A and B are shown apart, each in its own frame.
Chain A
Amino acid sequence: MTEKKNIGHNHDDHHNHSLLPEEPELRVRAIETLLLNKGIINSNTLNELIDTYENKIGPRNGAKVVAKAWVDQDYKKRLLENSTKAIEELSYTGRQGEHMVVVENTPKVHNVVVCTLCSCYPWPVLGIPPTWYKSDEYRSRTVREPRKILQEFGLELDLNIQVKVWDSTSEMRYLVLPMRPAGTELLTESELESLVTRNSMIGTGLPEMPK
């Protein structure tokens, strides 16, 4: 014989139904249901898209571009002259990568990328933008006080280094080519790749130093 005991809080009294999602999630479900029902979208495509941007496309692609430019001067030249085409050489093409501009950091210039209006971002080389990139603070303050923003990211730049801010649009997307860290002359291309961080390609960081 079994006996069910309820001690203290009676779970069933309060939660006898499924957990109600938040308002935005219900709205997404409504949109999705109607569009699936009309056959305008299909579930497999949606799942593939999510899997692609969660697991396959991300800043490792951009790191490959940067490392190649560090070791191959001809590639670097092509990359700065026609970024979209040079990035295509590594097969990073498609959505939101159609109009790429690579901007090079030098001892005198540090570049930083923002999208002041929404969140334009070069998906094929960097994936989905991080949350902070879409925040009101980053979008509104980067143009106004770039040095302060960079400080908050732990980047103290000498006052004689010019900071250039690039505002992305849906027609123009930027990737920063950071400077190759000193002391990396003996590293291979793939070792160099591992030093390239996402933030160093947005301009809110620098590549890691070799261990």
Chain B
Amino acid sequence: MIDQNNFDFKSFEKPWHGQIFAITVSLSENKVFKWSEFSKLLADQIKMDKTEKQNGGDDYFFSWIKALENLIIKKNVVDQTKLNITKKKWKDAFLTTPHGHPVEINLKKR
């Protein structure tokens, strides 16, 4: 049975859904890749991640993230190591920044 989520409709259920959407549109408009290249990878990724529980929310946008990561790595815009390091920095920043303070990272610091 499909959860229709019909009347209480928000474009993006969570802020990060909107962020990854906007990043992808922006990259495509800056001609980093064609939208059709991205949608092909997204379709493949959704297929790879397929489960019956996939409800089109978090899981859908998680597939979107993986598709975009693969594409920007393929296009040599970023590399996997840098992505991992940056993610780790954000994680550490969240774990060490006192509650109530803005969480920030410094990219230049290694």
Chain B residues within 8 Å of A132, by CB: 2-6, 55-56
Choose among A26, A35, A127, A152 the residue that contacts B2 (Cβ–Cβ < 8 A).
A152
The residue of chain A having its C-beta at the shortest distance from the C-beta of B108 within the complex is A37
Contact B55 A135 (CB under 8 A): yes
Per the 8 Å Cβ criterion, residues 1-46 of B in contact with A are 1-6, 9-14, 16, 18-23, 25-27, 30, 32, 35-36, 39-40, 42-43, 46
A153 to B5, CA, bound (A): 11
Interface segment out of the listed A1-9, A16-24, A63-71, A188-196: A16-24
A140 to B23, CA, bound (A): 28
A106 within 8 A of partner (CB): no
A interface size (C-beta, 8 A)? 56
Interface segment out of the listed A45-53, A78-86, A178-186: A45-53
Min CB–CB distance B7 → chain A (angstroms): 9
The answer to whether residues A149 and B97 also contact, given A31-B23, A35-B78, A136-B51 and a CB cut-off of 8 A, is no
Chain A residues within 8 Å of B9, by CB: 130, 198
Contact A135 B56 (CB under 8 A): yes
Max count, chain B CB within 10 A of own CB: residue among A25, A28, A33 = A28
The residue of chain A having its C-beta at the shortest distance from the C-beta of B41 within the complex is A118
Contact B26 A49 (CB under 8 A): yes
The answer to whether residues A30 and B90 also contact, given A50-B22, A170-B36, A171-B36 and a CB cut-off of 8 A, is yes
Contact B99 A16 (CB under 8 A): yes
A120 within 8 A of partner (CB): yes
Contact A17 B27 (CB under 8 A): no
| Residues of A bordering B, CB below 8 Å | 15-22, 24-35, 37-38, 40-41, 45-47, 49-50, 53-54, 58, 95-96, 117-120, 127-128, 130-138, 149, 152-153, 170-171, 198-199
| Residues of B bordering A, CB below 8 Å | 1-6, 9-14, 16, 18-23, 25-27, 30, 32, 35-36, 39-40, 42-43, 46-47, 50-58, 60-62, 65, 68-69, 72, 77-78, 82-84, 86-87, 90-91, 94-101, 103, 105, 107
22 A-B pairs in the complex with CB atoms less than 8 angstroms apart: A20-B94, A20-B95, A21-B94, A26-B90, A30-B90, A32-B19, A34-B78, A35-B77, A35-B78, A41-B23, A41-B27, A49-B25, A50-B12, A53-B12, A54-B18, A118-B46, A132-B5, A134-B57, A134-B60, A136-B50, A136-B54, A136-B55
